[in-house]
């Protein structure tokens, strides 16, 4: 059910221009339009640059996490390619959040994961990532009661 809510939330957040995909898309950094991410990632922002995460096919999405943000262990049903646009993206693999087991990636860094790979994330500073993958996309927490959160 939570998966369905995430996909539905993403679809509702699409701008009309992206929802009615043209033959090509071109977006400069200053043209990115940020919206609140779905409630599963409270405090984060998102922008769908290309495609529709709720539908079958390629899409590109940016996520902006504030400083001191944490995404508990989770998986995705499809391959995920993450490119760091700015800030520092700290990611670790496994079912349990362990900050000591993370590795930092900075602007230009890339992380590619197969479907079902359990991983977790935190930021010490505002961080923007770009996710390139195919839909339908979802974020499935290992512990279904988890959600993203600001830490102190």
Candidate from 28-32, 41-45, 125-129 with smallest mean pLDDT: 28-32
Q: What is the pTM of this model?
A: 0.83
CATH architecture, domain 2-21+34-150: Sandwich (2.60)
pLDDT at 5: 42
Report the b/e string of 60-89 with b at 16+ CB within 10 A: bbbbbbeeebbbbbbbbbeebebbbbebbb
77-122 confidence digits (pLDDT tens): 999 999 999 999 999 999 999 999 999 999 999 999 999 999 999 9
**Are the beta carbons of 23 and 31 closer than 8 angstroms?**
no
Q: Tokens for 90?
A: 């700290």
Task: Say if residue 21's pLDDT is above 60.
Answer: no
pLDDT average, residue stretch 5-23: 48
The full set of domain ranges for the chain reads 2-21+34-150
Kindly report the three-state secondary structure assignment for every residue of 10-78: HHHCCCHHHHCCCCCCCCCHHHCCCEECCCCCCCCEEEEEECCCCCCEEEEEEEEECCCEEEEEEECCC
Distance of alpha carbon 62 from alpha carbon 48, whole angstroms: 6
9 φ, ψ (degrees, to nearest 5): -60, -40
Task: Say if residue 6's pLDDT is above 60.
Answer: no
Task: Say if residue 17's pLDDT is above 50.
Answer: no
Task: Say if residue 47's pLDDT is above 80.
Answer: yes
pLDDT at 148: 81
Q: Would strands 110-113 and 140-141 be described as parallel, antiparallel, or unpaired?
A: unpaired
Chain-wide mean pLDDT for the chain? Answer: 87
């Amino acid at each position: 059910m939570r998966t369905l809510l995430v996909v539905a939330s993403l679809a509702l957040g699409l701008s009309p221009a992206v929802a009615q995909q043209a033959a090509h898309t071109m977006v400069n950094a200053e043209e990115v339009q940020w919206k609140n991410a779905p409630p599963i990632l409270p405090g984060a922002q998102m922008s769908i640059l290309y495609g529709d995460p709720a539908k079958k096919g390629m899409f590109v999405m940016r996520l902006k996490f504030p400083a001191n943000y944490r995404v508990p262990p989770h998986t995705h049903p499809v391959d995920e390619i993450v490119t760091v646009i700015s800030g520092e993206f700290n990611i670790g693999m496994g079912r349990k959040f362990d900050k000591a087991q993370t590795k930092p990636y900075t602007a230009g860094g890339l992380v590619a994961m197969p479907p079902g790979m359990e991983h977790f994330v935190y930021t010490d500073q505002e961080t923007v990532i770009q996710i390139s993958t195919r839909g339908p996309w979802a974020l499935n927490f290992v512990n279904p009661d988890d959600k993203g959160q600001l830490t102190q």
